[in-house]
Structure formats: structure tokens, C-alpha cells
């Protein structure tokens, strides 16, 4: 009986490690723009987070701004230069950052924009270029291998929450209860 208990405990610990370490990595292993929800017409500080998922440096990141969004400024990022692209009317349409992001690191590019006045979904196409020329286009559907990030523009809602947040919260609760049960269990 004692061997079975030890195997069960080891299995539960392994499951907890996979849930706590593996799931967040899967959920956020792509170029993402934050916040995921914003108010209509607001001046918003956005943040493009790009991880390096390859064994070679990322050397270029480009974002194309959604129609209806008016980008007004960019934050400086040490080690990176930004090139701002505009249309014939002078509106900012995209930005390209040049630098070097080593493997297993991430970088965040801040910018400020005025949100559309009406509720909508902002889809953020991003391309990431690695040393050697490989290019990943983060412009796919939500359930694809290369999803585009999305921000919902609309009035604030009470409650709710993302499905990822709900899943991670539930997983944390399960792991906590298992740990509590193991801690309170009498040895022997």
C-alpha cells in the first residue's frame, strides 16, 4: 500500500508541474498585444510582447496596425531601433523594430494609440524574422499555430474573464487542494 501511495504522490506532483509550467507556455507562446480589452475612444498604452521560440536570435519584428486605430507615439526599447511607416495622409500604418533578441528571451514594444470610438475587434498582424531569414507570420485564426493577437474594444464588463485565465485559475486551485491534502496527511 505504501508503494502505491508514493507512486500516486509522485504522479500528482508531476501533473502539477506540467499544469503550472507547461500550460502557461502554450497559452502565451506567440506575439501578443496587451491589453486584450480596451475602452472605445480612449488613449491606450499598448504593449507588443514577442518571445523568441527558436535557437537563433530574432532580428526584426513588424506590426501592421488595424484600421480605425490612430497610433500616436512609441516607447524606446534598449537595443532596438524603430522605423515608423505612414500612408499618404500621414497616418501611421505599421512599425518595424530592428535589433537582436537571443533565444529563450522576450521583448516588449510599447506604443500609444487612440482606440476607435465604436466597439470592434482589433486584429494585430505581426511578423517575426529570425537570423538566417526564417519569418513567422502571427496572423492566423485564434486556434491556429500562428494566431494573430486580438483586442476587444468595448465598454468594460463586470465578471467574465478569458478562458485561459479561467483554466489557469482552476488548475491552480486543483494543485493547491492536492498540496494541502498531502501536507495534512499523517505519515505512516
pLDDT exceeds 60 at position 25: no
If one counts the domains in the chain, the total is 1
% of the chain with per-residue pLDDT over 70? 67
Q: What is the CATH number of the domain that holds 30?
A: 2.60.40.2230
Q: What are phi and psi of 177, to 5 degrees?
A: -65, -40
What range defines the domain where residue 62 resides? 25-154
Q: Is 122 exposed, middle or buried (0-12, 13-18, 19+ CB in 10 A)?
A: buried
127 within some domain:
yes
Closest CA to 62 of 26, 108, 97: 97
148 within some domain:
yes
Evaluate whether 60 touches 98 at the Cβ level (below 8 Å).
yes
67 within some domain:
yes
Segment 56-74 shows an average pLDDT of 98
82 within some domain:
yes
111 within some domain:
yes
Maximum mean pLDDT: which of 12-21, 76-85, 151-160: 76-85
161 within some domain:
no
Amino acid at each position: 500500500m505504501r508503494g502505491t501511495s508514493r507512486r500516486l504522490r509522485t504522479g500528482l506532483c508531476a501533473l502539477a508541474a506540467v499544469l503550472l509550467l507547461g500550460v502557461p507556455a502554450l497559452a502565451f507562446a506567440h506575439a501578443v498585444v496587451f491589453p486584450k480589452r480596451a475602452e472605445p475612444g480612449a488613449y491606450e498604452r499598448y504593449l507588443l510582447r514577442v518571445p523568441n521560440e527558436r535557437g537563433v536570435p530574432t532580428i526584426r519584428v513588424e506590426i501592421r496596425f488595424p484600421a480605425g486605430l490612430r497610433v500616436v507615439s512609441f516607447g524606446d526599447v534598449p537595443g532596438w531601433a524603430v522605423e515608423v511607416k505612414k500612408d499618404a495622409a500621414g497616418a501611421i500604418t505599421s512599425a518595424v523594430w530592428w535589433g537582436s533578441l537571443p533565444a529563450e528571451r522576450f521583448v516588449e514594444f510599447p506604443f500609444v494609440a487612440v482606440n476607435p470610438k465604436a466597439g470592434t475587434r482589433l486584429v494585430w498582424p505581426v511578423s517575426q524574422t529570425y537570423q538566417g531569414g526564417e519569418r513567422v507570420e502571427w496572423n492566423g485564426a485564434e486556434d491556429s499555430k500562428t494566431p494573430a493577437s486580438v483586442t476587444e474594444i468595448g465598454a468594460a464588463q463586470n465578471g467574465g474573464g478569458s478562458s485561459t485565465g479561467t483554466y489557469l485559475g482552476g488548475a491552480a486551485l486543483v494543485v493547491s487542494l492536492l498540496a494541502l491534502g498531502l501536507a495534512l496527511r499523517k505519515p505512516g
